[in-house]
């Protein structure tokens, strides 16, 4: 630990070593890597930097844990998940503080993420007892067919830095409910929140090897991820991150034919028709766009506004953006923090420059923020078109790119003109149009008159280059961690 810029009520939540088989471990190399506060750019912790040579022992111990855990009564698994849930909620203040210092997000958003994330522990605790097989109608009188469901085995979760608690609990909750064990590799930017969850999982009573955390640097990440994905004892990998890395992970998994879920990038259209409730559309847009400074896979990337209300919507967006308090996430009145990495500031700067060169106008912001930390001003671009790089490339920054459209057919074509297909949003009062848009938009999740289409009880996931497999939701999420065996018999 270097020098902590915050204090915690429960200091035992803070760990910097990796966690395997119920023990806190260093890297075999003894190396560590630094964790920065994006609000200042200063290092405040250093974590064990595991390498590929550390991976086999962790998988072996998780396999040993699996042999026991798989036979645990589903009700006991549910009780353990609920106990974990309860402990996370008891330590909500401290976890929110760590989350704010790792990611940069304002404290209120950190609390929001914890509340969203713990919906998954709660939901999957319930699902543990609802795992069922099936009995088919026999094709012949002396034939019986039965389908049994069993946990798939040791699983791996590879997660990004933008929602480090929610992404972990969405995967680990489902795996542990199913009777699998899990090895999580958090992003090198945000290992501390995952380690605090591991500490609480131990306190909740999960046995050794059930939940494990591999901490590793950006330098070691490719080799460590490859070793995790290709190990013969790993049977399922769930990855959330960029589309580029997702395809690398899919390649690793193809070697051993591993079951894989890919939750990848988005480039989500947000469409406002001129018959929409404007106040509703704007308030949803503002929450969605500025949350975590635009660093959400489901954020509004391409904002399409019908021509009759285009000027009015832009004027209202600018007025609201002027009221945003940008600063360190720990500030009481701050409602937008920094970007999590310096790479993101460089990318946002390049995207704005490119759009302006191609004819867009900056009506608010447009520049990196002043002072230390990885700040970028809340930015509104108008007169956007399809020639600009930000139209086709996820921005992951506080850039609201606003396009004008005339007709429903036109906007449908523009919205679907993307390799990505994660989420889409439509604001209209016209019920016929609502149906047409829901059926024709190419996205795994569609919000109608809402900017929030993610919940524990509904399937989360995309189509096209946004990936495949679903997380959360009835039936589908836990099924990703089960194998199905068809047992056919003849009776006398
Ligand atoms: P990323 O792809 O760079 O990293 C994701 C994970 O992969 C991290 O654990 C990282 O350490 C690891 N990784 C990075 N390079 C690797 C490599 N070469 N080989 C193996 N592993 C590697 O993504 P990010 O920058 O952390 O997160 C932002 C991206 O995540 C965005 O594209 C966003 O849309 C996406 N995302 C998607 C969802 C979803 O549910 N669809 C949710 C959140 C974020």
The ipTM assigned to this model is 0.97
Burial class of 484 by CB neighbour count within 10 A (0 to 12, 13 to 18, 19+): exposed
Q: Which of 52, 164, 241 for mutating ligand 1's site (highest number of atoms within 8 Å of CB)?
A: 241
Ligand 1 lined by 159 (C-beta under 6 Å): yes
Quick check: CB of 33 below 6 Å from ligand 1?
Answer: no
**Whole-number pLDDT of residue 2:** 56
pLDDT tens for the chain, 492 residues long, are: 557 899 999 999 999 999 999 999 999 999 999 999 999 999 999 999 999 999 999 999 999 999 999 999 999 999 999 999 999 999 999 999 999 999 999 999 999 999 999 999 999 999 999 999 999 888 899 999 999 999 999 999 999 999 999 999 999 999 999 999 999 999 999 999 999 999 999 999 999 999 999 999 999 999 999 999 999 999 999 999 999 999 999 999 999 999 999 999 999 999 999 999 999 999 999 999 999 999 999 999 999 999 999 999 999 999 999 999 999 999 999 999 999 999 999 999 999 999 999 999 999 999 999 878 999 999 999 999 999 999 999 999 999 999 999 999 999 999 999 999 999 999 999 999 999 999 999 999 999 999 998 999 999 999 999 999 999 998 899 999 999 999 999 998
In angstroms, the Cα distances linking 341 to 34, 87, 315, 463 are 13, 30, 30, 27
In this structure, what are the phi and psi dihedrals at residue 322, rounded to the nearest 5 degrees? -65, -25
Q: According to the model, what pLDDT value does residue 39 have? A: 97
Backbone angles phi, psi at 69, to 5 degrees: -65, -35
* Distance from residue 160's CA to the centre of ligand 1 (Å): 5
Which helix (H) or strand (E) is 20 found in, with range? strand 18-20
d(CA 421, CA 266): 7
Q: Indicate the top mutation candidate among 242, 266, 296, 454 to test ligand 1's pocket, ranked by most ligand atoms within 8 A of CB.
A: 242
Ligand 1 atom nearest the C-alpha of 158 is 9
**467 contact partners, CB below 8 Å, separation of at least 6:** 243, 246, 261, 262, 263, 264, 422, 461
* Distance between Cα 245 and ligand 1 center (Å): 6
What's the 200 CA to ligand 1 centre distance in angstroms?
A: 25
* pLDDT at position 37: 97
> What confidence score (pLDDT) does residue 86 get?
98
Q: Given this model, what pLDDT does residue 1 score?
A: 56
Taking alpha carbons only, the member of 195, 203, 207 closest to residue 77 is 207
Ligand 1 pocket, residue 266 CB under 6 Å? yes
- How many CB atoms neighbour CB 71 within 10 A? 9
The Cα 266–Cα 302 span in angstroms is: 11
Q: Can you list the positions of beta strands (E) in 21-111? A: 23-25, 32-37, 42-48
Tokens of 53: 């040579």
Crossing angle of helices 164-178/107-128, nearest 10°? 10
Which residues belong to the active site? 263, 297
| 223 Cβ inside 6 Å of ligand 1 | no
Q: How far apart are CA 278 and CA 330, in angstroms?
A: 32
Helix/strand/coil for 81: helix
| C-beta 299 within 6 A of ligand 1 | no
């Amino acid at each position: 630990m270097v020098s902590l810029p915050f204090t915690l009520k429960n200091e035992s939540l803070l760990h910097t070593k990796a966690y395997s088989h119920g023990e806190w471990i260093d890297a075999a190399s003894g190396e560590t890597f630094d964790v920065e506060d994006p609000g200042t750019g200063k290092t405040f912790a250093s974590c064990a930097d595991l390498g590929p040579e550390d991976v086999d022992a962790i998988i072996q111990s998780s396999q040993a844990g699996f042999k026991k855990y798989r036979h645990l009564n589903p009700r006991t698994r549910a009780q353990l998940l609920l106990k974990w849930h309860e402990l996370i909620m008891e330590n909500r203040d401290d976890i929110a503080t760590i989350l704010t210092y790792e990611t940069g997000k304002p404290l209120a958003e950190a609390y929001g993420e914890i509340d969203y994330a713990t919906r998954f522990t709660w939901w999957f605790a319930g699902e543990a007892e609802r795992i069922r097989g099936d009995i088919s109608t026999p094709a012949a009188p002396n034939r019986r067919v039965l389908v049994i469901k069993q946990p798939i085995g040791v699983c791996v979760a590879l997660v990004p830095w933008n929602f480090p608690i929610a992404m972990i609990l969405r995967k680990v909750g489902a795996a542990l409910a199913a009777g699998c064990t899990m090895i999580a590799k958090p992003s090198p930017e945000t290992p501390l929140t995952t380690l605090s969850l591991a500490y609480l999982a131990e306190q909740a009573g999960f046995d050794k090897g059930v939940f494990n955390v591999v901490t590793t640097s950006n330098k070691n990440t490719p080799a460590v991820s490859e070793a995790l994905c290709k190990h013969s004892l790993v049977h399922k990998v769930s990855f959330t991150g960029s589309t580029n890395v997702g395809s690398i992970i899919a390649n690793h998994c193809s070697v051993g034919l591993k079951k894989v879920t890919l939750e990848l990038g988005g480039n989500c259209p947000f469409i406002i028709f001129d018959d929409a409730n404007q106040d509703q559309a704007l308030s949803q847009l503002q929450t969605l766009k500025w949350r975590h400074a635009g660093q959400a896979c489901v954020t509004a990337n391409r904002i399409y506004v019908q021509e009759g209300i285009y000027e009015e919507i832009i004027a209202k967006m600018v007025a609201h953006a002027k009221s945003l308090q940008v600063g360190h996430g720990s500030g009481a009145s701050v409602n937008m923090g920094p970007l999590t990495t310096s790479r993101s500031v460089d990318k946002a700067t390049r995207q704005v420059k490119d759009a302006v060169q191609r004819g867009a106008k900056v009506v608010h912001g447009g520049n990196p923020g002043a002072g230390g930390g990885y700040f970028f001003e809340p930015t509104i671009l108008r007169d956007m078109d399809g020639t600009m790089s930000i139209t086709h490339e996820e921005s992951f920054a506080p850039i609201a790119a606003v396009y004008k459209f005339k007709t429903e057919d036109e906007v449908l074509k523009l919205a679907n003109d993307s390799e990505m297909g994660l989420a889409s949003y439509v604001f209209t009062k016209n019920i016929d149009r609502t149906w047409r848009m829901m059926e024709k938009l190419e996205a795994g999740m569609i919000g109608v008159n809402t900017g929030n289409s993610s919940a524990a009880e509904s399937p989360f996931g995309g189509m096209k280059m946004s990936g495949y497999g679903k997380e959360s939701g009835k039936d589908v999420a836990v099924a990703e961690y089960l194998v199905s065996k068809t047992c056919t018999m003849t009776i006398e």
